[in-house]
Structure 1
Amino acid sequence: MDLNYIRRGAGRPLLLVHGIGGSWRSWNTVIDALAAERDVVAVDLPGHGETPPLAGENSIRTFADALTSFLTQHNLLGIDAVGSSMGARLVLELARRGGVVGAVVSLDPGGFWQGWEIPFFYHSVSVSVKLVKALQPVMPALAGSVVGRTLLLPQFSARPWAVDARQAQEEMRTFANTPVFDELLDRLAHGEKQQAAPKGSISEPLVIGWGRQDRVCLPSQAKLALAKFPDARLYWFDNCGHFPQWDQPEEATRLILAATSGHGLPEAFAADQRQLQPSQPKVPTAAVVGGILALLAGGVWLLASRRR
């Protein structure tokens, strides 16, 4: 299958794989900096952006197959790869399969939840997306406002007010208009669990990056991710939510370039990254829930005002 993609820069190729409901534009905050040193290939996954959905099942397995087919078709097997959220799990799966990708950076991967974390992930994201769809008529105003972003994005960002307004609007638009979103969300939460890669089976550099304030894929899930991928190194992003490329774009760029350089992470870069216990989120869950409720109330008011 051929995926829609853009290609920028020069040098050794680097694949960027977005998360559920995103598109290649999910990388807008870092793509130019990466393209200054690498030949960047950013794809739209099936059913996302300008790529049509798959004819059958939409899942991690079928998406990994589609990515492998795309890389084979474009003579890019062995390419270094970076993924975010669902895309982060996809690049881990490609690394597990062997022979598909080179060095891998996996940013806040989904799929390592257990017990109560499964319904927490499923229902919190499901409610958020329903809200985003309902608010599409007023989304430009919300995403363009510091107050609107603060209320709209606390689930995804540790500093929602600082997220680029155009990036927030683009992401909320694609969230609402991805036809395979509901199927993928259900399969991510309740479908096939991520298979493990035994120690020593992945020879290329593998780094898992995690935001300490991630409220989608909780930081405690890093322990299971490392248990399933023991060849990986863990990197914590401070003051960072689910998308390091939003909250810490410069640091995310440095990590990606360092991890995929072929020289591994410098010791100074990886200092204090070995601990598994993340710091406590600075914004409590109650504040996030309150923000979502406030956003809903504000959205209803804005819609009513628009009708008047």
Structure 2
Amino acid sequence: MHHIRRGAGRPLLLIHGLGGHWQSWNPILDSLAASREVIAVDLPGFGQTPRLAGETSIRTLANEVANFLHVHGVTGIDAVGSSMGARLVLELARRGGIVGGVVSLNPGGFWRGWERHAFFSSIYLSIRLLRLLRPVLPAVCASPLGRALLLAQFSARPTKLAPEVVSDELCSYVASHAFDELLAQLAYGEEQQGAARNTIAHPLVIGWGKRDRVCFPRQAARALALFPDAQLHWFDRCGHFPHWDAPAQTVQLILSALGGERGKVADALSHADDRPDRAFSPGLHLPHSTDPAW
């Protein structure tokens, strides 16, 4: 499995989302590497890692990641995942003994009914548009209007994103060999299993953007129902990729959540950044019924 290692300190695994590659983490990679040794992978069928000979699914990808960690002697490593990768780190946490603390950012796979079809059809149409635009994607991404149109579903502030980050990510989607198979698996394949209360010994935090138009915020309650040991962190003005829309807050969340024991996580996160000039409140909470995102 192709990967990069950067920084020094306690190892930290980063797992990208559907269609992505290790560069998906570029907005926060250097900040994390200042405190931890970061290992960012290309999952099979994405980036520079060949696809699997058989089925590509959450189950088989989890098997591959577990084997990768064993081979490299880092079983028990803390792990962070985004989107599909966020569901993958939850699966690894559920299995036990594979990863340590986990931060899961906007995990996919907790949709119900029409949400499942909306996810599949919207991403299906998006990837086909990107494939048609492939020759001119870098030029389109260089334009604020182009980024706004292409990333309206994924980011709460697409015009603020670096053009090279967007171009690199979308070109990776187009080049992914396993994209179509895994999209169908995510939408209509095996549903995510949960873990009973008090069965996960390490910190487990689920982060969710309140403006996520891929995995709607109401799905957070379903994720917590399956993983009752998890704590929830809302990103107030973020879409599907908090590490893009709010990189500093995301780094703060990861380092705070994975810096202590499970019982101390809530207190650490509620005081992660209390400076008045910050535009967010990082406390852990469930949404109230008056929350417009809920």
Distance 1:68 1:169 in 2: 30
Q: Using a 3 Å threshold, how does the CA distance of structure 1 residues 280 and 132 change in structure 2: closer, same or farther? A: farther
Work out whether 1:268 is the aligned partner of 2:279. Answer: no
Distance 1:109 1:59 in 2: 15
Work out whether 1:37 is the aligned partner of 2:49. Answer: no
Distance 1:135 1:205 in 2: 42
Amino acid at match of 1:73: V
Work out whether 1:106 is the aligned partner of 2:104. Answer: yes
Aligned to 1:230, which of 217, 228, 231? 228
Q: 1:7-65: per-residue Cα shift (whole Å, max 9, x none)?
A: 00000000000000000000000000000000000000000000000000000000000
Are 1:223 and 1:276, in contact at CA under 8 Å, matched by a contact in 2? no
Question: Which consecutive aligned stretches of 4+ in structure 1 deviate over 6 angstroms post-superposition?
Answer: none
Aligned to 2:292, which of 280, 286, 290? 280
Counterpart position of 2:120: 122
Amino acid at match of 1:90: L
Which of the two has higher C-alpha Rg?
A: 1
Distance 2:46 2:152 in 1: 23
**Tell me, which stretches of 5 or more residues in structure 1 are unaligned?**
282-308
Aligned to 1:167, which of 165, 168, 184? 165
Counterpart position of 2:136: 138
Counterpart position of 1:215: 213
Classify the secondary structure of the residue corresponding to 1:225: helix
Q: Using a 3 Å threshold, how does the CA distance of structure 1 residues 271 and 131 change in structure 2: closer, same or farther? A: closer
Percent identity of equivalent pairs: 56
Normalising by structure 2, report the TM-score. Answer: 0.93
CA RMSD of aligned residues (A): 1.2
**Tell me, which stretches of 5 or more residues in structure 2 are unaligned?**
273-280
How far the C-alpha of 1:271 sits from its partner, in A, is 5.9
Work out the number of aligned pairs and report it. 279
How far the C-alpha of 1:164 sits from its partner, in A, is 1.1
Normalising by structure 1, report the TM-score. Answer: 0.88
Q: In the TM superposition, what are the counterparts of 1:234-249 in structure 2 within 5 Å?
A: 234-249=232-247
Counterpart position of 1:200: 198
How far the C-alpha of 1:150 sits from its partner, in A, is 1.1
